[in-house]
Structure 1
């Protein structure tokens, strides 16, 4: 049986603990491989609240606390934002912590050190909601990310089909890299992730958290169809 090595993550964007736990249960039933806990979406998030949520969900989690400049909702200071991520370093079910490449270098190095001490893997992310940088610039960004963390992530906005192909070019050249072209034009890049052995792709369980997201049911169906097609080809050889 062929199984995609690309994990499907679903972001949780609910604002309070009760809704987060209900949503997590729903997404687990829908067979997400990993959940992204968007701390920036939580109203008045505290370390104690995050710890209780993660322990109760009892499922692999990406901890993300996204800045306003990169599409997030966190309203506090940068130090407060990083301190909430620090809480996640020692939580058993947090598999990854997402850290923006453009975080202040001192704070970025601080949280990276805490992740290293706790042996928690990191995703170093970059978002551009206006354009797609050139392939050379994207490669430079990914190389910087990979020097810092375990997985590189670039999320960019295409203006034409060529821009979406630039994202595929990055995934074809770089291992341990998540490449996403946003919007309807780039939505297919989320499905192509498995073709390039991307470690994670992102779907939605109902709430759309980024332009061009695909619901998990469609994502799983399309990935399985691709794998079956590959299996048929192998059988014919």
Structure 2
């Protein structure tokens, strides 16, 4: 499996990198949360733009990204506009989805963006092309909050992400049984064994999915999302605890 380097951080090698989602609604609250997160053992921050109260104000988005960039220093900033169709807090039009990401990419204030693989290819391909031209990495994602699809379906989605130009593939699913956990792990392990595969983020949500969040180094998932304050998905562990567990497994 290949690795991806962002601001000197090698994603896809060694311990899974710890990302903290920021889900606050205002710039002031985001600033406070980012400063708090930087006191913890984190590798990167995800700004969940779908929770931002001023999502219709492009100037406010860019200014907030600028402030976050200053606080994070060299830590990578991932910006995610998660749609309601995939468990997010906002449902933009396709045009709005494209335009928000275009402005963020061109601002040179963000290091990675998250694009949902089920968006129309007419939206995905130009954004991927622009991101790569501007040296911004693309995480391509898919989320299922109700079930764990079959291994065949998950593998097909990962392949589609790679075909569409993703730098990192991500899926987050809801395991309902031990068999579902094994499905996630088998898919992750299969992908990790591919010589030329892009890095993969494999997430099991909910209580049962916690084992997936900590086992990435063994089975091939390269980022784990932890909390400093509010969680963005069920089953996320507090960063301090997550870091401790990952350190123990890495010894």
Given the two structures, how large is their TM-score scaled by the length of structure 1? 0.90
Gaps in structure 1 of 5+ consecutive residues: 229-237
The residue aligned with 2:230 is: 207
The residue aligned with 1:73 is: 89
When structure 1 is superposed on structure 2, of 76-85 and 142-151 the one drifting more is 76-85
Deviation of residue 131 (structure 1)?
Answer: 1.1
Identify which of 15, 28, 37 aligns with 1:27: 37
Identify which of 139, 157, 162 aligns with 1:123: 139
Quote the Cα distance in structure 1 between the aligned partners of 2:147 and 2:116.
18
- The within-5 A match list for 1:150-189 is 150-175=167-192, 176-189=199-212
- Which has more helix, going by share of residues? 1
Deviation of residue 172 (structure 1)?
Answer: 0.8
Quote the Cα distance in structure 2 between the aligned partners of 1:159 and 1:197.
21
1:82–1:107 contact (8 Å) kept in structure 2 = yes
Quote the Cα distance in structure 2 between the aligned partners of 1:75 and 1:145.
21
1:5–1:197 contact (8 Å) kept in structure 2 = no
Quote the Cα distance in structure 1 between the aligned partners of 2:140 and 2:109.
19
2:77–2:111 contact (8 Å) kept in structure 1 = yes
Quote the Cα distance in structure 2 between the aligned partners of 1:76 and 1:138.
25
Quote the Cα distance in structure 2 between the aligned partners of 1:72 and 1:117.
28
2:41–2:243 contact (8 Å) kept in structure 1 = no
Quote the Cα distance in structure 2 between the aligned partners of 1:25 and 1:142.
34
3-state SS of 2:146 partner = coil
When structure 1 is superposed on structure 2, of 92-101 and 147-156 the one drifting more is 92-101
Considering only aligned residues, what root-mean-square deviation do their CA atoms show, in Å? 1.6
Quote the Cα distance in structure 2 between the aligned partners of 1:106 and 1:123.
17
